[in-house]
Structure 1
Amino acid sequence: MIQAVLRLVAPVDKRDEILQVLSGLSGPTEASKGCRCCRVLCDANDKHVITYWVQLETSEDLQAHLRSERFQMLLPYIDMSLEPPEVEVSRLDAIGGMDFIVSAIRAQRG
């Protein structure tokens, strides 16, 4: 699985517009081939920090997403960031869910 995370700092007067555009594109992105999830997140400590987070099955799916018209529509909004946008692309290997957490807690007590 591939994970891509984009963090930007929205200008005060553009925050709501950026959120609206990102949120409007997350549903169609989730419906696209290979997408496991697409989320738009707001930072609890700074309401102007917005994170766009997408998980896709393969790097080919990510490349297709980046070339899509949906993603191309985001580029002007990314350019509005008050700080250089932060981008991180990672390959993820599943290590577990709740069972992993329970196992880690039990190992600490043992």
Structure 2
Amino acid sequence: MIVFRITMHVLPEKQKELVQTFLSMIEPMEKETGCLSYALFCDMADQNRLDLFEEWQTRKDLDQYLRSDMFGVLLGTKSLLSEPHAIHIYTIHQSEGMDAVYTARGK
């Protein structure tokens, strides 16, 4: 699995516009090949910091998305930001669930 994270520092007067842009992308993202999830989070300490998290089945699926017009729309939001997008791609080879928590807690 691939996790794609974009951190954005939004100009305060542009936050609503940026959020509306991302909300309009939910349905099309659900149809993207290999997209497992798409979520936007607001930092509780700084309401003008938003993090977009996407999970992708494979790197090939993510790369196809990065070449798409939809991703171009996302990059086009740079005029709404106080600094450039910070983009991080994480490759996950293993994930664990609640059993790992129980093990760590000695239960």
Tell me which residue corresponds to 1:86.
86
Equivalences for 1:24-63 in 2 at 5 Å? 24-63=24-63
How large is the Cα RMSD of the aligned pairs? Answer: 1.5
Identity of paired residues, percent?
A: 25
One-letter amino acid of the counterpart of residue 4, structure 2: A
Q: C-alpha distance in 2, partners of 1:27/1:102?
A: 36
One-letter amino acid of the counterpart of residue 45, structure 2: N
Taking structure 1 as the reference length, the TM-score comes to 0.87
Tell me which residue corresponds to 2:105.
105
Tell me which residue corresponds to 1:16.
16
Moved over 6 A (4+): none
Asked if 2 retains the 8 angstrom alpha-carbon contact of 1:27 and 1:38, the reply is no
Secondary structure at 1:106 match in 2: coil
Stretch moving more, 28-37 or 57-66: 28-37
One-letter amino acid of the counterpart of residue 95, structure 1: S
The unaligned stretches of length 5 or more in structure 1 are none
The unaligned stretches of length 5 or more in structure 2 are none
